[in-house]
């Protein structure tokens, strides 16, 4: 079967949601719904196309979903991890990018530095997709909000409360919420708030979409009336030596049953995974009836297939 048409994205790359214009997230979600509801119809959408997957850090979900996603679309993926590649050490990122564009049709990269992604993208004519960096995790947040859209029909006017480290995942959640008109509160310990530039980017988008954005250090106040509560690890990949220090700083920011009781009665629990039960979330919450963590993980596949088709498919 041949693919059915849907909208296009004007961008070459997806390095951050801040690059997406108004309507682009909806385009991705529309394509996701089409692809998710009829897998066979898109089985030739990327026939013969190849994706390079360059990972400087560990991964389960991102790696599998991009690889399986390419296979579902009729293409293939080649994986290179941190044991094979130390970005920029054997040769310049520019040379790497210029080689890769001769062999493959797209690149997904998980990197320590957002700057590395930008340099790769600037030096090749093929799409580059961010599979997580120190700065943002766009595919994750798009999948999170796609899952909420499936649940609620519309996220506009609903409030997501993110409790924990103002990290890469949090930054992309701010961007997507602000684009879609969802309200978002970020609640972190002092000194671990989201990056000020990301908050300004989100505030700017919020002016158009009507999102209300709150940044606070008080978990009780933050979670009151939440429609969904989200958390992520207290120490991200690359911050392993801070685990002990962070464990005491973040102790009041654990999402437990008591905290969830402050949110709306049917409030959803979200986490990008991997999770540490007993640290940022209790087992009772993540394994409880309102947790949607595996639905989100499933949707990583569908959302990324949409992104792959929109960026690597034939442009109409
Ligand atoms: N959530 C997420 O990106 O998972 P991985 O680190 O396993 O890819
Ligand atoms: N913030 C986490 C997300 C993992 C998917 C990290 O960067 O390790």
Which atom, in ligand 2's list, is nearest to the CA of 132? 7
Tell whether omega for the bond before 129 is within 30 degrees of 0, i.e. cis: no
Q: How far apart are CA 71 and CA 266, in angstroms?
A: 37
The answer to whether residue 4 scores a pLDDT higher than 90 is: no
Closest CA to 162 of 146, 145, 174, 176: 174
Is 137 in the active site? yes
CATH number corresponding to 139-296: 3.40.50.1370
Catalytic residue, candidates 140, 165, 175, 246: 140
| pLDDT tens, position by position, 265-303 | 999 999 999 999 999 999 999 999 999 999 999 999 999
Q: Which residue ranges make up each domain of the chain?
A: 17-136+299-312, 139-296
CATH architecture assigned to 17-136+299-312: 3-Layer(aba) Sandwich (3.40)
CB of residue 130 inside a 6 A radius of ligand 1: no
Q: How far apart are CA 133 and CA 125, in angstroms?
A: 21
Q: In angstroms, what CA-CA distances link 124 with 87, 139, 313? A: 16, 21, 17
| pLDDT tens, position by position, 59-117 | 999 999 999 999 999 999 999 877 766 788 889 999 999 999 999 999 999 999 999 99
Rounded to two decimals, the pTM is 0.97
CB of residue 272 inside a 6 A radius of ligand 1: yes
Catalytic residue, candidates 24, 175, 272, 302: 272
Is there a common fold for 17-136+299-312 and 139-296? yes
The answer to whether residue 1 scores a pLDDT higher than 60 is: no
Is 61 in the active site? no
Q: How far apart are CA 296 and CA 282, in angstroms?
A: 19
Give the pLDDT confidence score for residue 125 in this predicted structure. 98
| pLDDT tens, position by position, 193-233 | 999 999 999 999 999 999 999 999 999 999 999 999 999 99
């Amino acid at each position: 079967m041949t693919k059915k048409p849907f909208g296009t994205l004007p961008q070459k790359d997806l390095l951050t949601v801040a690059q997406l214009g108004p309507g682009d997230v909806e385009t991705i979600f529309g394509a996701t719904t089409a692809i998710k509801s009829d897998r066979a119809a898109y089985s030739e959408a990327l026939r013969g196309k190849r994706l390079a997957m360059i990972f400087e850090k560990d991964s389960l979900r991102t790696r599998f979903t991009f690889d399986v996603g390419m296979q579902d679309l009729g293409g293939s993926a080649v994986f290179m991890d941190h044991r094979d590649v130390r970005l920029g050490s054997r040769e310049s990122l520019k040379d790497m990018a210029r080689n890769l564009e001769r062999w493959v049709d797209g690149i997904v990269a998980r990197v320590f530095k957002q700057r590395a992604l930008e340099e790769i993208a600037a030096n090749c004519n093929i799409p580059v997709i961010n599979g997580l960096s120190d700065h943002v995790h766009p595919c994750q947040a798009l999948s999170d909000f796609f899952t909420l859209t499936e649940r609620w029909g519309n996220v506009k006017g609903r409030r997501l409360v993110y409790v924990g480290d103002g990290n890469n995942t949090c930054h992309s959640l701010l961007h997507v919420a602000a684009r879609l008109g969802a309200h978002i509160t970020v609640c972190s310990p002092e000194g671990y708030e989201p990056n000020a530039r990301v908050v300004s980017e989100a505030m700017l988008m919020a002016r158009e979409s009507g999102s209300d954005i709150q940044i606070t250090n008080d978990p009780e106040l933050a979670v009151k009336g939440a429609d969904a509560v989200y958390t992520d690890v207290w120490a991200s990949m690359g911050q392993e030596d801070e685990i002990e220090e962070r464990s005491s700083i973040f102790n009041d920011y654990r999402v437990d049953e008591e905290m969830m009781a402050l949110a709306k009665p049917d409030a959803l629990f979200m986490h990008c995974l991997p999770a540490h039960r007993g640290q940022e979330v209790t087992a009772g919450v993540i394994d409880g009836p309102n947790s949607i963590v595996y639905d989100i993980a499933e949707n990583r596949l569908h959302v990324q297939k949409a992104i792959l088709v929109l960026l690597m498919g034939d442009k109409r």
